Amino acid sequence: MRIEDYALIGDMQSAALVGRDGSIDWLCLPRFDSPSSFGALLGGEHNGHWWVGPSGRPMATRRRYRPDTLILESEWDTPTGTVRVIDFMPPRDRNPDVVRIVEGVSGTVEVCTELRVRFDYGRIVPWVRRSEGHLQAVGGPDSVWLHSAVPLIGGDYAHQATFTVSAGERVPFVFTWHPSHEPMPTMIDPETHLAETEAMWAEWVAQCTYKGPWRDAVVRSLITLKALTYEPTGGIVAAPTTSLPEDLGGVRNWDYRYCWLRDATMTLEALIDSGYSGEAESWRDWLLRAIAGRPQDLQIMYGVAGERRLPEATLDWLAGYEQSRPVRIGNAAVDQLQLDVYGEVMNCLYLARTSGLPASDRAWAIQQQLLSYVEEHWDEPDEGLWEVRGPRRHFTHSKVMCWVAMDRAIRQVENFDRTGPVERWRAVRDEIHAEILRQAYDPARNTFTQSYGSTELDAALLLIPLTGFLPPDDPRVIGTVEAIQRELMADGFVLRYPVAEDNSVDGLPGGEGAFLACSFWLVEVLSMMGRREEATELFERLLSLRNDVGLLAEEYDPRYARLVGNFPQAFSHVPLVHAAKALS
């Protein structure tokens, strides 16, 4: 299936992707970054999946989320009637559960299910036994139970069943993971947890302050962002998947199941702007634990509990999504220098304070240490926002965000009665500003460039007015926007940067699609410039790229008219929220 044929369910500790055919093809337990129990997404069904649907395995006639929830409903119209499958993961008490309720809507429909559990990213075939009428699969540290009144028959290292449902009948399945050394977990009541899960999401969505014309799109994005939050710690993952390709059949395949400081701070900004200050406090606590220590040891990403070691490896036994190899776990970019994250962190903590988050002396002490590092290192080259695997450069965006770091510190002193060497900070801020104008601006073309001395453009330059570095009506900003529209767009959408044939920019072969966040940034900038009709038209085009349940991947490839990259992607849904608010 296409990437956009999947929908998301989750319990704010892990998540599953459910295909339009009713198959769960991706599920990592017990955490987002755990090895998968269902890994067909990156290989084949022999790498694990769980299908439930009408005989013949047709695609669902329609599907939707229950309003203001993460409860998925898929419906099939068949010659003998209509059947619905309700999929959700209830917020867990102890063990993670996946609940699937088959409901007869009309007539009588023959339904099939196939369960093929494969631990360790599809590599371990578990030992399966039947106990007290239920199935248990065990492999190393992992164990899962399938509770159902429907008897499943084993064969070919899988378990299948065929049964019928008539109008008004409901047949539940409960899939529960637990450590294999622990006793059998208590089975939850699926109907009770369905009601509780629906009530929880409805209560959370009721806090949303956005009342504009694109409420449905904004709320669906906010629910997705909340689903990517690791509730025990407050960390926020960039996406629940790994190695969904940016270039179909290519090597641009990365593991996004970690907490990028940049992505997390942008996610928090969207949540804060929409009325969710509680998430900001949880994230701040996670941040302070994760980055505690020397400021020079700050990483660009961490594990969901703040882990620092995220070694990159390839899984050679997986064929990859549409033969896109290698399949990677871990992320070597953890060791990169990306100076922009200091600005993202400082900006988010400043916004958290403006939203009413109580002051924290510990947070301010750590921020001052980070600022000291920025003072000493802002003029160094780095790998930049896009995590290039080519040579380090003086990326313009990195310098702008160093300016942001100093600027937001000064604002905290001025607005929140904090103390610090503010005159020195002002001097550094002004020095950074002057150097960017001198080194990163091309007066002949009237545009800023990707890096000092470069002629290339970069979509991150659109953030110059969004950060307050220059106003939107500055001629240099206007010129940069026009240059990006002229030279950095494909099929009406913004590319991140030109991908050089010699791989000199990012060190990787192959192309990529249009990075969706960049087009949303353009919407916001155009709105700030007063070009609202143009901005609205682009925004509506971007919304049309969402799949049938309102989700976006990282990129859109105009060559194939398909979503590509990890899915769903926080970095796409965050700027959607900001763009909607700007237009509203």
- Percent of the chain surpassing pLDDT 90: 82
Q: What is the C-alpha to C-alpha distance for residues 135 and 223, in angstroms, rounded to an integer?
A: 33
For residue 64 the two structure tokens come to 């939707």
Helices (H), 529-569: 532-543
The lowest-confidence range among 306-315, 344-353, 529-538 is: 344-353
pLDDT of residue 534: 97
In the 3-class helix/strand/coil scheme, how is 307-366 assigned residue by residue? Answer: CCCCCCEECCCCCCHHHCCCCEECCHHHHCCCCHHHHHHHHHHHHHHHCCCCCCHHHHHH
Question: Which of 4, 5, 116 is closest to 59 using CA atoms?
Answer: 5
Distance CA 558, CA 555 (A): 10
Residue 110 reports pLDDT greater than 70: yes
Backbone angles phi, psi at 299, to 5 degrees: -105, 160
Greater confidence (358 vs 3) lies with 3
Question: Which residue type sits at 50?
Answer: W
Identify the pLDDT of residue 507. 61
Please say if the pLDDT value at position 261 is more than 60.
Answer: yes
Least confident span in 83-92, 258-267, 286-295, 369-378: 286-295
Binned at pLDDT 50, 70 and 90, residue 505 comes out as: low
What's the confidence (pLDDT) of residue 383? Answer: 93
Distance, CA of 445 to CA of 439 (rounded, Å): 14
Query: pLDDT value at position 150?
Result: 94
148 φ, ψ (degrees, to nearest 5): -165, 150
Q: Is the pLDDT of residue 414 over 70?
A: yes
Confidence check: pLDDT of 509 > 90 = no
Element (H, E) at 24: strand 23-28
Which amino acid is present at 560?
Answer: Y
Mean pLDDT of 321-329: 96
Any alpha helices (H) in 167-308, and if so which ranges?
A: 190-205, 215-227, 261-273, 277-290
What is the per-residue pLDDT across 53-72, written as a single tens digit (0 to 9) for each? 999 999 999 999 999 999 99
Peptide bond into 381 cis (omega under 30): no
- Which pLDDT belongs to residue 360? 87
Instruction: Look at strands 229-230 and 170-179 and give their pairing.
Output: unpaired
pLDDT band (50, 70, 90) for residue 8: very high
What are the structure tokens assigned to 254, written together?
A: 């990365």
What is the percent of the chain with per-residue pLDDT over 70, rounded to a whole number? 98
**Is 103 a residue whose pLDDT tops 70?**
yes
Rounded average pLDDT over 107-136: 94
Contact 225, 580 (CB under 8 A): no
How many CB atoms are located within 10 Å of the residue 571 CB? 22
What is the DSSP-derived secondary structure letter of residue 334?
Answer: G
In this structure, of 182-186, 232-236, 267-271, 321-325, the range with the lowest mean pLDDT score is 267-271
State the pLDDT confidence band at 501, using cuts at 50, 70 and 90. Answer: low
Measure the CA–CA gap between 97 and 120, rounded to whole angstroms: 18
Band of the pLDDT at 515, cuts 50, 70, 90? very high
Alpha helices in 40-99 (DSSP H): none
Residue 37's φ and ψ, nearest 5 degrees, are -100, -30
Task: Identify the pLDDT of residue 500.
Answer: 57
Characterize the bridge pairing of strands 142-148 and 6-10: unpaired
- Between 270 and 317, whose confidence is greater? 317
d(CA 265, CA 238): 11
Lowest mean pLDDT: which of 68-82, 363-377, 443-457, 489-503?
A: 489-503
Average pLDDT over residues 239-252: 95
Beta carbons of 269 and 283 less than 8 angstroms apart? no
- Return the axis-axis angle of helices 570-583 and 261-273, rounded to nearest 10°: 30
Q: Which domains are assigned to the chain?
A: 3-182+189-202 (2.70.98.10), 207-583 (1.50.10.10)
- Farthest-apart Cα atoms in the chain, separation: 78
Q: How far is Cα 61 from Cα 84, in angstroms, rounded to an integer?
A: 10
Residue 423: its pLDDT value, please?
A: 96
Residue 504 has pLDDT above 60, yes or no: no
| Mean pLDDT estimate for the chain | 94
For the whole model, what pTM was predicted?
A: 0.95
User: What residues are paired with 8 via a beta bridge?
Assistant: 17
User: 467 pLDDT band (50/70/90 cuts)?
Assistant: very high
Give the pLDDT score at 159.
96
Q: Pick the closest to residue 84 from 72, 93, 76 (CA basis).
A: 76
Q: Which pLDDT score, from 0 to 100, does residue 518 have?
A: 97
Helices 516-528/532-543 angle, 10° precision: 160
Q: Are 378 and 401 in contact (CB under 8 A)?
A: no
Phi first, then psi: give them for residue 179, nearest 5 degrees. Answer: -60, 135
Task: Kindly tell me if the per-residue pLDDT of 218 is higher than 80.
Answer: yes
In this structure, the number of other CB atoms found within 10 A of the CB of residue 136 comes to 19
pLDDT given at position 269: 84
266-299 pLDDT, tens digit per residue, is 888 888 889 888 888 888 888 888 877 777 788 8
Q: Would you say 244 and 3 are in contact if contact means Cβ atoms under 8 Å apart?
A: yes
More confident position, 355 or 439: 439
| Residue 16 predicted with pLDDT over 80 | yes
d(CA 2, CA 564): 9
